[in-house]
Structure 1
Amino acid sequence: MNTLKSLLFIFLLVLSGLAMAQTGAIKGTIIDEQSKQPIEYASIALLKSSDSSLVSGIVSKSNGAFEFSKLSSGKYLLRAAFVGYHNKYSTIINVNAGVADAGIISLSPSQQMLNEVAVKGTQINALNKVDKQSYKAGQFELAKGGSAIDVVKNLPSVAVTGEGEISVRGSAGFMVRINGKPVLTDAQTVLSQMPANAVANIELITAPSAKYDPDGRGGIINIITKKGVNDGFTIAANAQGGLPSTTDYGNTRKPQRYGADMTLNYRKDKWDVSVGGNYTRNDNAGYREGDAYTKNFVSNTITRFPSTGERSFKKYNYSGRTTINYMADAANSFSAGLFVGSRFQDRVADLLYHNTTSNLATNAPVKSTTYFNSNLQTKQGNFFLANFDYTRTFQNKSTLVAGMVYEHADLYGNTKNRNLKYPNTKDTIQYVYNPYKRPINGYRFKLDHSLPIGKGKLESGYQLRYDTQDGQFDYLVTPPTAQPNAAKFTGSLHAKNMINSVYTQYSGKAAKLEYSGGLRYEYATRTVNISYDQKPHQLDLSNLFPSANLLYSLNEGWKMKAGYSKRINRTTNLELNPIPEREHSETLEEGDPDLLPEFIDLAELGTIHNFKQGSFFTTLYYQHIKNPIQRLNSVYADTILNRVYTNAGSARLFGLEVGTNLQPVKWWSFYLGANLYNYKINGDINILGVATNVYNRAWAYSINSNSNFQLSKTLSLQANINYLSKRPTAQGEDSQFFVPGTSVKKTFMNGRLSAGLQWQNMGFFSANKQRITTSGRDFYTTTNYIYETDVFLVNFSFNLNKFTGKLKLPNSEIGDKEF
Structure 2
Amino acid sequence: MKKCFYLLLTLLCVNYSVMAAPGFRIKGKIVDANNNQPIDFADVFLFREGEVNPAYQTLPEADGSFRIADVKDGKYHLLVRLVGYDLYNRPNIELKSSSDMMDLGVISMKPLEVGLAEVEVVAQKKQVIYKLDKKVIEASSNLLAGGGSAVDILENTPSIRVDAEGEVSFRGSSGFTVYIDGKPSVFSGTQALEQIPAGHIENIEIITTPSARHDTGGDVGIINIVTKKHVQDGFSGMVNLTGSTVLSRGVDFLLSQQNKASRWYFGGVWSERLRKSDFDQEKTTIISDTATTSHSNGPRKSNNFNYSLKAGWMYSLPQTTFNVDLEGGYGGRTRNGDLDYREKRSADGTTFGEGDYYSRDDYDIHETYFLGTVGFDHKFNDKGHQLTGSFYLKYGGNALEYFQSDLFNKNNEREKGHRAWEDEHRWTVRGNLDYIYPYSKTGRIEGGYQYFSYLEDGDYTMHFWDPVKQEFYNRDDIYNTFYFQHGINSIYGIVADSYKSFDFQAGVRGEHTHRVLRSSIPGKDRTYNKFEFFPSVHLGYTFPKEHKLLASYSRRITRPELFFMEPYITYRDFYSAEIGNPDIRSEYINSFELNYKKNIGEHTVSATVFHRSRKDKIERLRVPYEAGVTLDSMANVGHDYSTGIELSGQVQLTRWWNVNLNGSLYHYKVKNQYKTGGENETSTNYDIMWNNSFDVLKYTRVQVDGNFVGPSVTTQGRTDAFWYVNLAVRQQLMKRKLSATLAFRDVFNSARYVSKIITSDLQSITRIRPSYPLITLTVSYTFNNFKVKSSQKKEDHDLFEGTNH
Global fold match (TM > 0.5): yes
Q: Which residue of 2 aligns with 1:634?
A: 623
- 1:562–1:606 Cα contact (<8 Å) kept: yes
Deviations 1:747-786 (A, max 9, x none): 122212111111122233x22x212221222111121122
Distance (whole Å) between structure 2 residues aligned to residue 155 and residue 440 of structure 1: 33
Q: Which residue of 2 aligns with 1:501?
A: 490
Distance (whole Å) between structure 1 residues aligned to residue 274 and residue 672 of structure 2: 39
- What pairs up with 1:99-178 in 2 under 5 angstroms? 121-178=123-180
Q: Which residue of 2 aligns with 1:116?
A: none
Q: Which residue of 2 aligns with 1:516?
A: 505
Distance (whole Å) between structure 2 residues aligned to residue 379 and residue 605 of structure 1: 40
Distance (whole Å) between structure 2 residues aligned to residue 519 and residue 81 of structure 1: 22
The 1:239–1:699 alpha-carbon spacing in structure 2 relative to 1, beyond 3 Å, is same
Q: Which residue of 2 aligns with 1:412?
A: 400
Aligned length: 696
Deviations 1:93-149 (A, max 9, x none): xxxxxxxxxx9989978999xxxxxx9923344322222222221122222111111
- Between stretches 125-134 and 623-632, larger displacement belongs to 125-134
Q: Which residue of 2 aligns with 1:441?
A: 427
* Paired AA for residue 625 in structure 1: R
Q: Which residue of 2 aligns with 1:9?
A: none
- 2:298–2:339 Cα contact (<8 Å) kept: yes
Deviations 1:593-646 (A, max 9, x none): 221121100001221111124011111111110111101101111211101111
Q: Which residue of 1 aligns with 2:319?
A: 331
1:293 counterpart = 2:284: yes
RMSD value, Cα: 3.2
Q: Which residue of 1 aligns with 2:687?
A: 702
- What pairs up with 1:375-390 in 2 under 5 angstroms? 375-390=361-376
Unpaired segments of 5 or more residues in structure 2? 1-24, 44-59, 68-87, 92-101, 108-120, 469-473, 790-805
Distance (whole Å) between structure 1 residues aligned to residue 333 and residue 422 of structure 2: 15
Deviations 1:540-567 (A, max 9, x none): 2221100001111111231111110001
Distance (whole Å) between structure 1 residues aligned to residue 763 and residue 346 of structure 2: 15
Distance (whole Å) between structure 2 residues aligned to residue 292 and residue 592 of structure 1: 25
Deviation at 1:236, TM superposition (A): 0.9
Deviation at 1:486, TM superposition (A): 7.0
Q: Which residue of 1 aligns with 2:462?
A: 475
Distance (whole Å) between structure 1 residues aligned to residue 494 and residue 257 of structure 2: 36
1:340 counterpart = 2:320: no
1:572 counterpart = 2:561: yes
- What pairs up with 1:80-91 in 2 under 5 angstroms? 84-85=64-65
- 2:461–2:475 Cα contact (<8 Å) kept: no
Deviation at 1:503, TM superposition (A): 0.3
Distance (whole Å) between structure 2 residues aligned to residue 109 and residue 301 of structure 1: 80
- 1:42–1:81 Cα contact (<8 Å) kept: no
- What pairs up with 1:2-41 in 2 under 5 angstroms? none
* Paired AA for residue 309 in structure 1: G
Deviation at 1:661, TM superposition (A): 0.8
Deviation at 1:584, TM superposition (A): 1.5
Match of 2:786 among 803, 811, 816: 803
Match of 1:541 among 518, 524, 530: 530
Q: Which residue of 2 aligns with 1:735?
A: 720
- 1:587–1:640 Cα contact (<8 Å) kept: yes
Distance (whole Å) between structure 2 residues aligned to residue 110 and residue 658 of structure 1: 35
Deviation at 1:186, TM superposition (A): 2.6
The 1:693–1:325 alpha-carbon spacing in structure 2 relative to 1, beyond 3 Å, is same
Deviations 1:457-514 (A, max 9, x none): 1110000101110121111112189xxx976622111001000110000112111101
Q: Which residue of 2 aligns with 1:562?
A: 551
Deviations 1:677-705 (A, max 9, x none): 1111123359xxxx997531111111223
Match of 2:191 among 183, 189, 204: 189
State the SS of the aligned residue for 1:151: helix
Match of 1:794 among 751, 764, 777: 777
The 1:123–1:431 alpha-carbon spacing in structure 2 relative to 1, beyond 3 Å, is closer
* Paired AA for residue 364 in structure 2: T
Q: Which residue of 2 aligns with 1:263?
A: 254
The 1:184–1:560 alpha-carbon spacing in structure 2 relative to 1, beyond 3 Å, is farther
Q: Percent identity?
A: 25
Deviations 1:367-423 (A, max 9, x none): 2121221111112211111110012222474211111000111211311111111x1
Distance (whole Å) between structure 1 residues aligned to residue 209 and residue 466 of structure 2: 54
State the SS of the aligned residue for 1:227: coil
- 1:224–1:805 Cα contact (<8 Å) kept: no
The 1:124–1:779 alpha-carbon spacing in structure 2 relative to 1, beyond 3 Å, is closer
Deviations 1:321-357 (A, max 9, x none): 1111111x22221111001011143211222221112
Match of 2:652 among 660, 663, 668: 663
State the SS of the aligned residue for 1:162: coil
Distance (whole Å) between structure 2 residues aligned to residue 120 and residue 628 of structure 1: 48
Q: Which residue of 1 aligns with 2:611?
A: 622
State the SS of the aligned residue for 2:211: coil
* Paired AA for residue 708 in structure 2: Y
Q: Which residue of 2 aligns with 1:457?
A: 444
Deviations 1:33-53 (A, max 9, x none): 9999xx9x962258xxxxxxx
Distance (whole Å) between structure 1 residues aligned to residue 713 and residue 32 of structure 2: 50
The 1:110–1:384 alpha-carbon spacing in structure 2 relative to 1, beyond 3 Å, is farther
Q: Which residue of 2 aligns with 1:224?
A: 226
Distance (whole Å) between structure 2 residues aligned to residue 672 and residue 749 of structure 1: 33
TM-score (norm 2): 0.81
Deviation at 1:184, TM superposition (A): 7.8
TM-score (norm 1): 0.80
Unpaired segments of 5 or more residues in structure 1? 1-32, 47-53, 63-79, 88-102, 113-118, 246-254, 807-819
The 1:692–1:666 alpha-carbon spacing in structure 2 relative to 1, beyond 3 Å, is closer
State the SS of the aligned residue for 1:190: helix
1:366 counterpart = 2:352: yes
Q: Which residue of 2 aligns with 1:15?
A: none
Distance (whole Å) between structure 1 residues aligned to residue 314 and residue 404 of structure 2: 46
Deviations 1:712-751 (A, max 9, x none): 2111100123332110001001222434211111112221
* Paired AA for residue 464 in structure 2: V
The 1:602–1:35 alpha-carbon spacing in structure 2 relative to 1, beyond 3 Å, is closer
Which structure 1 residue ranges, 4+ long, deviate > 6 Å from structure 2? 33-36, 80-83, 103-112
- 2:126–2:650 Cα contact (<8 Å) kept: no
- 1:162–1:737 Cα contact (<8 Å) kept: no
* Paired AA for residue 754 in structure 2: R
- 1:375–1:584 Cα contact (<8 Å) kept: yes
The 1:699–1:487 alpha-carbon spacing in structure 2 relative to 1, beyond 3 Å, is farther
1:753 counterpart = 2:742: no
The 1:786–1:728 alpha-carbon spacing in structure 2 relative to 1, beyond 3 Å, is same
- Between stretches 377-386 and 119-128, larger displacement belongs to 119-128
* Paired AA for residue 295 in structure 1: I
* Paired AA for residue 167 in structure 1: S
- 1:200–1:805 Cα contact (<8 Å) kept: no
Distance (whole Å) between structure 1 residues aligned to residue 290 and residue 207 of structure 2: 52
Distance (whole Å) between structure 1 residues aligned to residue 436 and residue 787 of structure 2: 26
Distance (whole Å) between structure 2 residues aligned to residue 585 and residue 237 of structure 1: 42
The 1:109–1:214 alpha-carbon spacing in structure 2 relative to 1, beyond 3 Å, is farther
- 1:763–1:789 Cα contact (<8 Å) kept: no
